[in-house]
């Protein structure tokens, strides 16, 4: 428990704030496979928090557990003042939580407009189409294109844009820059920074900590299904040697 207390203390160094998500002793399973072994972290309102770690560390499983997609989970997941540990994913979505998966989930048989309008609005305050096109002008030009005819970067824009319509204010983005060209990665970073300024709270899974460093307020390191360290972005340089060790880069 000492390492978790150290990580928690380091990650909260940025000052007192209001947690919108608090995860304590989270364990999760895929069938008989025990993947998470007591995850502990929190996300304050208006923050961008990044989970860093190698492939298979448990980062994506953590997001899916928060979203209620992983059915077999124990511990405590609190969203605001509500315990959502055993809440179904559809109810969690209606609370204003949205998950953008690594595989993006673009429907091949639908065009961009249909993909964009497919998710229901769950809460007031979602972005209008004009606001979305202001963020992602490429999508306006491709409205009649089939989802699978988009580039990887355009598919990622569409996946993010789709959840912004719903009214969700807590966004979980799983590897949003994977496989994208540098110019698109830069645009995704600018979008995340803009969403933060507009009051969104974002939990980000990334392996590219150089990208994460441009948007994140705080980091947690996930290894073997546990949070083993955490620090604020202001302490990133002081932790670079540890990051190289943790991430194997």
Query: In tens digits, what is the pLDDT along the chain, a chain of 249 residues?
Result: 333 344 444 444 444 578 999 999 999 999 999 999 999 999 999 999 999 999 999 999 999 999 999 989 999 999 999 999 999 999 999 999 999 998 888 998 899 999 999 999 998 889 999 999 999 999 999 999 998 889 999 999 999 999 999 999 999 999 999 989 999 999 999 999 999 999 999 999 998 888 999 999 999 999 999 999 999 999 989 999 998 898 875
Q: What is the pLDDT of residue 108?
A: 86
Listed by start position, the domains of the chain span 2-247
pLDDT of residue 147: 84
CATH class of the domain defined by 2-247: alpha beta
Residue 69: exposure state from Cβ atoms within 10 A (0-12, 13-18, ≥19): middle
- Interstrand relation of 19-30 and 33-44 (parallel, antiparallel or unpaired): antiparallel
CA distances from 10 to 36, 60, 148, 186, 228 (A): 21, 23, 43, 28, 11
Ramachandran category for residue 5: left, alpha or beta (phi over 0 → left; psi -120 to 50 → alpha): alpha
Please tell me the predicted confidence (pLDDT) of residue 11. Answer: 45
- Over 86-106, what HEC string results? CCCHHHHHHCCEEEECCCCCC
pLDDT value of residue 247: 87
- For position 249, what pLDDT does the model report? 59
Return the pLDDT at 148: 80
Q: What pLDDT is recorded for position 9?
A: 45
């Amino acid at each position: 428990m000492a390492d978790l207390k150290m990580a928690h203390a380091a990650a909260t160094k940025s000052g007192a704030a209001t947690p919108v998500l608090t995860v304590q002793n989270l364990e999760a399973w895929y069938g008989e496979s025990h993947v998470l072994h007591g995850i502990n972290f929190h996300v304050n309102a208006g923050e961008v928090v990044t989970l860093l770690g190698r492939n298979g560390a448990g980062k994506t499983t953590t997001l899916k557990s928060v979203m209620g997609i992983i059915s077999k989970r124990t511990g405590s997941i609190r969203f605001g003042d509500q315990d959502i540990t055993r809440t179904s994913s559809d109810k969690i979505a209606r609370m204003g939580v949205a998950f953008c998966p690594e595989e993006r989930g673009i429907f091949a048989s639908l065009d961009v407009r249909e993909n964009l309008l497919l998710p229901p609005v769950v809460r007031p305050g979602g972005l209008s189409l004009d606001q979305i096109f202001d963020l992602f002008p490429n999508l306006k030009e491709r409205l009649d294109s089939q989802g699978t005819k988009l580039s990887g970067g355009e598919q990622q824009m569409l996946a993010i844009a789709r959840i912004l319509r719903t009214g969700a204010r807590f966004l979980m983005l799983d590897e949003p820059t994977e496989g994208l060209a540098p110019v698109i990665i830069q645009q995704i970073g600018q979008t995340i920074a803009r969403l933060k300024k507009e009051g969104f709270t974002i939990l980000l899974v990334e392996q590219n900590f150089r990208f994460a460093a441009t948007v994140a307020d705080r980091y947690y390191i996930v290894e073997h299904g546990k949070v083993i360290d955490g620090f604020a972005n202001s302490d990133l340089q002081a932790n670079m040697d540890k990051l190289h060790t943790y991430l194997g880069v």
